[in-house]
């Protein structure tokens, strides 16, 4: 199963791959070169298919927990001053996604969308300390019955060039369902209340909609 955000790119990639291989067979007399071109184009196509895969996961809906919004590696757990929305201290958990990870963003909790804003920006590497403030990004706040307001931020990386965000102010969203997509390498930051019980560690590999990030 592939994510809908990848349907166009996948179709175009198939067409381009087929055309390159047909042309190489028609105009190149070197069989080794033809074979090499075929291998390279198929590998690229497989990587694109892998990037846009969308494994179906059904989260156990529970307002007492925050689940991972994405697949990736936990690269930061720290108390920070969140200055865009809360303007106070929060616990920030950052999850880095390599191009090989599933890039679907899922809602970390159920609740009502209170804030949703897109910010154009730079394309620093996603693990850069300033990427949360300088890169292209979206900021979304969900009001949850137990945690109160939680914030997550989709951040484009050095390769990513498009963030898709489905959250609209006033929407009632369900934990674990699709919240968006980040194309080709990225990061997601979660900002939680200081009294949240964090259930992950640095360098831990997490799966979206499955692993628990925090609980009350």
What lies within 8 Å, CB to CB, of 5 at 6+ separation is 52, 164, 181, 183
Helix count and strand count (H, E) for the chain:
3, 14
Residues marked as catalytic = 186
d(CA 208, CA 99): 15
87-110 as b/e, with b when 16 or more CB fall inside 10 Å? eeebbbbbbbbebebbbbbbbbbb
Per-residue tokens: 142: 């969900």
């Amino acid at each position: 199963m592939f994510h809908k955000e990848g349907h166009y790119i996948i179709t175009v990639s198939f067409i381009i791959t087929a055309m390159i291989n047909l042309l190489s067979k028609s105009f190149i007399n070197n069989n080794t070169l033809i074979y090499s071109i075929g291998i390279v184009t198929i590998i690229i196509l497989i990587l694109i298919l892998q990037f846009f895969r969308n494994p179906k996961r059904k989260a156990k809906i529970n307002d007492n927990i925050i689940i991972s919004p994405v697949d990736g590696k936990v690269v930061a757990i720290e108390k920070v001053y969140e200055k865009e929305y809360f303007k106070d201290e929060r616990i920030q958990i950052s999850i880095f996604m390599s191009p090989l990870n599933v890039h679907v963003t899922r809602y970390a909790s159920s609740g009502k969308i209170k804030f949703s804003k897109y910010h154009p920006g730079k394309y620093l590497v996603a693990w850069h300390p300033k990427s949360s403030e300088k890169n292209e990004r979206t900021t979304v706040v969900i009001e949850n019955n137990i945690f109160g307001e939680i914030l997550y931020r989709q951040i484009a990386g050095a390769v990513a060039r498009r963030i898709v965000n489905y959250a609209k102010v006033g929407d009632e969203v369900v934990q674990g369902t699709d919240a968006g997509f980040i194309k080709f390498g990225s990061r997601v930051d979660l900002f939680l209340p200081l009294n949240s019980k964090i259930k992950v560690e640095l360098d831990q590999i997490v799966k979206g909609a499955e692993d628990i990030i925090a609980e009350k």
